[in-house]
Chain A
């Protein structure tokens, strides 16, 4: 009795709200339509993973495959290599590329000469505006035989200059270092902003108590930005299987395929280039599920420290 009464009351309130804010609700209809069409309809397409989907025949005409494509993928010769590449690249990225903006923000925070801070920050934001195509183009150009970076490497290793991208063992370092170069500055903005918001009185109090700079760093600065670091970390972990397609594809060459083939490029090759929609969707779905599992579990761990995504 109470429940139905409460529900009726809810709908009465809803009706009032709708009529009071008619314009707003009307305005958001096209926006909801947009999300419905371009975000939710493709979700329905996930079912392609379970069919040998032929577009002309639709779902009813396509043969039901069940988990066949998943089985095929797990048993394929590419599976080990793809999973290894995707995972290792991601883990290395979390170890090396994730902390870099934080350290850079700390560096900017500790330098007291404002002019240098502003100048270096401006220079560091620059690379993020360059398109991935141009960045990879520059990489291809600098790493070809007799290119800038190839020559530097050649002079260090005392070998003749060779095309670094044709050597699969260089793929991951090149990928990670160029990621670092492009994103470190811009990603550090979030952390720098958090650092600036730390109460200056805390530092003064610590100085009075005799804390040196290093002690201040450990006891005040780091704990203050821990919440934002944890949130960014959870978000980062949610992309564990997400080696972005664009960069991997742009840097990929036949000779470095051993290390450059990742889940996204595989999905593209099989799914779009090979028109095997069912298989491609199955692999993509698998990757999305694993991603979510990582996101969920990392958030669970983060919950224990009071700052989590939800």
Chain B
């Protein structure tokens, strides 16, 4: 509260300082609501995490809210990694993510850079690309195209069609445009060609945006399952999420085994535990990356909120 000394010394009161008592009450009430929302957001993840490292017997028997792990054991994880279904699909997913993101970022950065320069045909190019954001042939024509290209049941079918997301490209383009023209001009005076300007000058300046776009592509590639479902036939090429779908939604753990036919007794008895463990495996990479990139969000995504 304001006291005489402050008034006399004319101390400036910060605008977000809680001055009035009613302000404080409101702040407390709102904070409680916010914290509750935060807990609800994270609880399903926590529940799954605790359940995955609890003892199998407890998981089988327990029906209610899990507030902490019971009898911590990693036996569940051992079980799912024993059967090579999960391991192969994990490696597949890794491949799709690394290859896909590299491919996407290359195309998106080049596209965004060229479209951010002053070219006469850029207006036309932008219109052509934005058009594709709103209109697409739909599911069937895309399927026919992949078929006609002979990419059915090929890993490339999950990578090639997804080079550029127009939305991400526009965010990156806006970031490129915000690099001050003077810096580029002085670089060109010093003899820098387009490649040097893009890589040496601009990219370091828009690191935050590049990081966020990379994150978007990574999350997209890791989480993608539907293209794999319609284009792939060979189980050895399945990404992890497709296997998760089998285990969690189709309730089918039979394919985890090497011979694809029999379920081992262990697997049968611990299906619930397997579900929890495989869920965590599917979520883990994103959860791990998340804190590191969280700091970029306050700054980087500002760009996306400006009308493109």
| Chain A bound to chain B | yes
In the assembled complex, the Cα of A48 lies from the Cα of B144 at a distance in Å of 10
Name the contact of A284 in the complex, choosing from B18, B35, B139, B290 (C-beta under 8 A). Answer: B139
Contact of A267 with B222 at beta-carbon distance under 8 Å, contacts A129-B290, A193-B302 already known:
no
Interface hub of B35, B114, B195, B241 (most chain A Cβ within 10 A):
B114
10 additional contacts, CB 8 Å, given A28-B111, A203-B15, A213-B23? A13-B120, A42-B136, A45-B145, A55-B148, A117-B34, A133-B248, A137-B275, A190-B304, A197-B302, A272-B139
Q: Is A95 an interface residue (CB 8 A)?
A: no
Contact B286–A148 (Cβ < 8 Å): no
Tell me how far the C-beta of A299 lies from the nearest C-beta in chain B, rounded to whole angstroms: 11
CA distance A246 to B307 in the complex (A): 28
Residue contact A245 to B139, C-beta cutoff 8 Å: yes
**Interface positions of B from 123 to 145, Cβ below 8 Å from A:** 125, 128-129, 132, 134-145
Contacts of B41 in A (CB 8 A): 123-124, 126-127, 181, 185
Known contacts A17-B119, A111-B30, A43 near B135 by CB under 8 Å: yes
A6 at the interface (CB under 8 A from B): no
Q: Contact string, A279-307, partner B, CB cutoff 8 A, digits 1/0? A: 01100110010001001000000000001
Cα-based distance from A295 to B131 in the complex (angstroms): 13
A123 / chain B contacts, CB cutoff of 8 Å: 38-39, 41-42
Q: Is B170 an interface residue, CB under 8 A from the partner?
A: no
Task: Produce 1/0 per residue, A13-52, CB < 8 A to B.
Answer: 1100100010111011011101101111111111010000
Q: For residue B142, which residues in chain A have a CB less than 8 angstroms away from its CB?
A: 38, 42, 45
Nearest Cβ on chain A to B7's Cβ, whole angstroms: 17
B164 touches A46 (CB 8 A): no
Q: CB distance A107 to B286 under 8 Å?
A: no
Task: Assess the B47–A126 pair: CB atoms within 8 A.
Answer: no
* Inter-subunit contact B301/A281 (CB<8 Å): no
Find the B residue at minimum CB distance from A309. B307
Interface centre among A32, A123, A137 (most CB of B within 10 A): A137
Residue pairs across A and B with CB atoms within 8 Å: the count is: 253
**Once bound together, how far apart are the Cα atoms of A39 and B132, in whole Å?**
6
A151 x B64 contact (CB < 8 A): yes
Which residues 270-308 in B have Cβ within 8 Å of A in the complex? 275, 279, 282-283, 286-287, 290-291, 294, 297-298, 301-302, 304-305, 307
Contact call A131/B139, Cβ cutoff below 8 A = no
Q: Tell me the minimal C-beta distance from A99 to chain B in angstroms.
A: 15
Residue contact B125 to A32, C-beta cutoff 8 Å = yes
Q: Please tell me which one of the listed residues B37, B45, B47, B144 contacts residue A104 in the complex, with CB atoms under 8 A apart.
A: B37
Contact A213 B301 (CB under 8 A): no
Indicate with 1 or 0, residue by residue over A113-153, a CB within 8 angstroms of chain B CB atoms.
Answer: 10011011011111101111110111011100010100100
Shortest B148–chain A CB gap in Å is: 8
Contacts of A271 in B (CB 8 A): 139-140, 143
Q: Are A107 and B33 in contact (CB under 8 A)?
A: yes
Q: Could you tell me which residues of chain A, from 41 to 83, have a CB within 8 Å of some CB in chain B? A: 41-46, 48, 55
Partner of B282, one of A43, A131, A281: A131
Q: Which residues of chain B are within 8 angstroms of A32 by Cβ–Cβ distance?
A: 125, 128
For the complex, is A243 an interface residue (Cβ under 8 Å from B)? Answer: no
Interface residues of B (CB under 8 A from A): 15-18, 23, 26-27, 30-31, 33-35, 37-42, 44-45, 47-48, 63-65, 107, 110-111, 114-115, 117, 119-121, 125, 128-129, 132, 134-145, 147-148, 160-161, 163-164, 193-195, 219, 222-226, 230, 241-242, 244-245, 247-249, 251, 275, 279, 282-283, 286-287, 290-291, 294, 297-298, 301-302, 304-305, 307
Tell me which residues across on chain B come within 8 A of A119, comparing CB atoms: 38
| B241 A120 Cβ-Cβ under 8 A | no
Closest B residue to A114 by CB, please name it.
B16
A17-B119, A141-B248, A292-B134 known; A267-B30 Cβ under 8 A: no
Residues of A within 8 A of B (CB): 13-14, 17, 21, 23-25, 27-28, 30-32, 34-35, 37-46, 48, 55, 104, 107-108, 110-113, 116-117, 119-120, 122-127, 129-134, 136-138, 140-142, 146, 148, 151, 181, 185, 189-191, 193-194, 197, 200, 203-204, 213, 228, 231, 238, 245-246, 250, 264, 267-268, 271-272, 277, 280-281, 284-285, 288, 292, 295, 307
Can you identify 30 A-B contacts, CB atoms within 8 angstroms? A17-B120, A17-B121, A24-B114, A28-B114, A35-B164, A38-B145, A41-B145, A42-B145, A43-B136, A45-B141, A111-B27, A111-B34, A112-B18, A113-B31, A116-B34, A116-B35, A117-B34, A131-B225, A137-B249, A138-B279, A151-B64, A189-B297, A267-B138, A267-B139, A271-B140, A272-B140, A272-B230, A280-B140, A284-B139, A288-B136
For the complex, what is the distance from the CA of A130 to the CA of B287, rounded to whole Å?
8
With both beta carbons as reference points, the residue of chain A lying nearest to B243 in the complex is identified as: A133
Contacts of B38 in A (CB 8 A): 119-120, 123-124
Residue contact A284 to B140, C-beta cutoff 8 Å? yes
| A181 and B40 contact, Cβ closer than 8 Å, known pairs A107-B33, A133-B225, A190-B304 | yes
Question: What residue in chain B is nearest A280 (Cβ atoms)?
Answer: B140
* Contact call B282/A44, Cβ cutoff below 8 A: no
Q: When A and B form their complex, which 10 residue pairs have the shortest distance between CB atoms, in order from nearest? A: A45-B141, A137-B248, A42-B137, A131-B223, A284-B138, A123-B38, A42-B141, A39-B132, A120-B38, A129-B286
